[in-house]
C-alpha cells in the first residue's frame, strides 16, 4: 500500500475502481482493509472509485506514542484528502470514522460533498462513557486478557442477537475475534479518541448532505444516539438496519451497501 505524509505522520492507503471518489473511514481498532470485504466491491460495481486507509495507530500507518484525540484523527483525514486531491468527495465513516466524518463535514465543507454516518453519535451517555473508561483502565493497567475471553466479550458487544443465536455464524466470529485478539497491534492511543462534551449544537452548522444509519441492536452507538445526530444535522435523514449490532456493515452488508449507494447516487 502507498503512503501519504500528513499531520506529522504517514498514513497507508489504497485506491481502487474508477469513477468519482468515495473515502471510507474506519472505526477504532480496525484497519482500513475491513471495508474491502463488502463495501468497496459494491461501491466499485456502482461506479465509484474507493479509497480506504489505516488510521494512525493501526495497520501500516504510523503509531505515535501517547493518547490520540478526535482532533488528531480529523486532521489526519483532512490531510489525506488534501494530499490525494480528493475534495470535495463523498465520505462514508463508521463508529469513530463517522465521528471524524461529522467533524470534517462541519469544519471543511469544501472537502466533503456528502457523508454517510454509520453507527455514529454526538455525545457519550452514561453507559457508553462507562464502557470507554473501563477499556481505558484496562489498557493503562497493562493487563492483557486472554484471547478467548476477548473474543467472547467482543461478540457480545459487537453483534446482534440474530447472529449470536446462530451457532454456526457465531462460531466463525469467535474464531476471527480470537485470532485478531491474539495479534492486536492497535496503538493504545486509539482508546482515548472520543467527543469531548456534547456536539449536538455544533452539528447544526453542517451544510453538506448527510445520512445517518443506525444498527438496531448496537450497544456501542445505539439507535437513540444515532437519532440525535440525525436530528442535529440540518436535512440529515435517518435509517435503521434491523438484526444488526455495532458491526452492522459486516453483519448485514447487503442492506448497508444499498443504503449507502442509494444516498451517494443522489448526492
- What is the pLDDT at residue 182? 63
User: For the chain, how many residues are written?
Assistant: 267
- The 10s digit of each residue's pLDDT in 31-73 is 999 999 999 999 999 999 999 999 999 999 999 999 999 999 9
Cα 116 from Cα 209, distance rounded (Å) = 9
Q: List, for residues 96-109, the tens digit of each pLDDT value.
A: 999 999 999 999 99
Task: Quickly list H helices, the chain.
Answer: 39-45, 70-83, 96-107, 126-141, 147-158, 161-164, 167-182, 200-203, 223-232, 248-251, 253-266
Of all residues in the chain, the percent with pLDDT exceeding 70 is 99
pLDDT confidence of residue 143: 83
pLDDT at position 194, please?
A: 87
Query: Per-domain residue ranges for the chain?
Result: 3-124+192-266, 127-182
Show which residues are catalytic: 95, 218, 246
At 152 the pLDDT is 95
The residue written with cell numbers 455544533 in the block is: 202
User: Are 63 and 57 in contact, with CB atoms under 8 Å apart?
Assistant: yes
Could you please report the per-residue DSSP string of 158-213? HS-HHHHT-HHHHHHHHHHHHHHHHT----GGGGG---SS--HHHHTT--S-EEEE
**Bridge-based pairing state of the strands 3-6 and 9-16:** antiparallel
Segment 112-171, tens digit of pLDDT: 999 999 999 999 999 999 988 998 898 888 888 899 999 999 999 999 999 999 999 999
Q: Cα(244)–Cα(9) distance, rounded to whole angstroms?
A: 35
| Banded pLDDT at 183 (limits 50, 70, 90) | low
- What's the pLDDT band for 185 if we cut at 50, 70, 90? low
As given in the structure block, the three cell numbers for residue 52 are: 480506504
Give yes or no for residue 224 having a pLDDT over 70. Answer: yes
More confident residue, 1 or 16: 16
Find, among 105, 93, 78, the residue nearest to 30 by Cα: 93
| 105 vs 233: CA distance, rounded Å | 10
Q: What are phi and psi of 21, to 5 degrees?
A: -80, 145
Residue labelled with grid coordinates 441492536: 217
**What are the C-alpha distances in Å from 30 to residues 88, 202, 240?**
25, 28, 23
Q: How far is CA 32 from CA 2, 12, 50, 163, 230, in A?
A: 13, 9, 11, 23, 25
Task: Tell me the pLDDT band of 180, cut-offs 50, 70 and 90.
Answer: confident
The pTM of the full predicted model, rounded to 2 decimals, is: 0.96
Tally of CB atoms within 10 A around 258: 15
**Cis-peptide, bond into residue 88, ω within 30° of zero:** yes
Give the CATH number of domain 3-124+192-266: 3.40.50.1820
Single out the residue of 22, 20, 222, 2 nearest to residue 115, CA to CA: 22
Confidence of residue 187 (pLDDT cuts 50, 70, 90): confident
Amino acid at each position: 500500500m502507498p503512503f501519504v505524509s500528513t499531520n506529522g505522520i504517514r498514513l497507508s492507503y489504497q485506491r481502487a475502481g474508477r469513477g468519482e471518489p468515495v473515502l471510507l473511514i474506519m472505526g477504532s481498532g480496525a484497519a482500513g482493509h475491513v471495508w474491502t470485504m463488502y463495501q468497496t466491491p459494491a461501491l466499485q460495481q456502482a461506479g465509484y472509485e474507493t479509497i480506504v486507509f489505516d488510521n494512525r495507530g493501526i495497520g501500516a500507518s504510523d503509531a505515535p506514542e501517547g493518547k490520540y484525540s478526535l482532533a488528531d484523527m480529523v486532521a489526519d483525514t483532512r490531510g489525506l484528502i488534501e494530499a490525494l486531491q480528493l475534495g470535495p468527495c463523498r465520505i462514508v465513516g463508521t463508529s469513530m470514522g463517522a465521528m471524524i466524518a461529522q467533524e470534517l463535514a462541519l469544519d471543511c465543507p469544501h472537502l466533503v460533498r456528502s457523508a454517510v454516518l454509520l453507527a455514529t453519535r454526538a455525545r457519550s451517555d452514561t453507559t457508553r462513557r462507562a464502557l470507554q473508561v473501563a477499556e481505558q483502565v484496562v489498557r493503562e493497567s497493562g493487563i492483557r486478557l486472554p484471547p478467548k475471553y476477548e473474543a467472547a466479550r467482543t461478540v457480545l458487544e459487537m453483534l446482534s442477537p440474530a447472529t449470536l443465536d446462530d451457532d454456526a455464524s457465531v462460531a466463525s466470529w469467535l474464531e476471527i475475534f480470537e485470532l485478531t485478539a491474539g495479534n492486536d497491534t492497535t496503538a493504545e492511543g486509539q482508546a482515548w479518541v472520543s467527543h469531548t462534551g456534547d456536539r449536538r449544537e455544533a452539528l447544526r452548522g453542517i451544510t453538506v448532505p448527510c445520512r445517518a444509519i443506525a444498527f438496531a441492536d448496537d450497544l456501542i452507538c445505539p439507535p437513540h444516539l444515532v437519532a440525535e445526530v440525525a436530528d442535529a444535522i440540518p436535512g440529515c435523514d435517518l435509517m435503521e438496519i434491523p438484526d444488526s449490532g455495532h458491526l452492522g456493515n459486516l453483519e448485514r452488508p447487503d442492506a448497508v451497501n444499498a443504503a449507502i449507494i442509494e444516498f451517494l447516487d443522489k448526492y
